[in-house]
Amino acid sequence: MTSKVTYTGELRTSCVHLRSGDSIITDAPIDNNGLGQAFSPTDTVATGLASCILTMMGIKANGLEVDLKNATAEVTKHMASNPRRIAKIEIVLSLPAQISEKDRKILVHTANTCPVHFSLHPDIEKDITFHWVL
């Protein structure tokens, strides 16, 4: 088992990662009857894509002897209705400028092939932008 999720009432869940004991809470968003005081479940999906991209790029960067420390991803999730679902995830990555063109191509390919990217429904638009600025 990976995690345990408990409904705590008022459209909130408590999620515990069983191996580490780390936890997060989720709230339904304000536009869907919730308090919006924490990540919504769909926020965690969009954020998971960005986290997966940076993690996979980090693994590849280690092999390339490239330092991605302090790289960031800004995530914007767009919802659709009928049925309510994630329609689009925009991710803007800020990455170290000193990385060579060859290594940039490898890292971009790695980002676009992370497991979460492949796990999301193909109808979800994924707009990923790479800025080499840090």
pTM for the complete prediction? 0.95
Q: What is the mean pLDDT of residues 49-55?
A: 98
CA 134 to chain centre: 20
Contact 14, 25 (CB under 8 A): yes
Residue 29, SS3 per DSSP: coil
Please, which pLDDT band fits residue 134 given cuts at 50, 70 and 90?
Answer: confident
**The pLDDT of residue 85:** 96
Burial 91-119 (b: 16+ CB within 10 A, else e): bebbbbeebeeebbebbbebbeebebbee
**The pLDDT of residue 22:** 98
- Return mean pLDDT, the chain: 97
CA distance 134 to 128: 17
Q: Which domains are assigned to the chain?
A: 3-32 (no CATH), 41-132 (3.30.300.20)
* Token pair belonging to 114: 């992370």
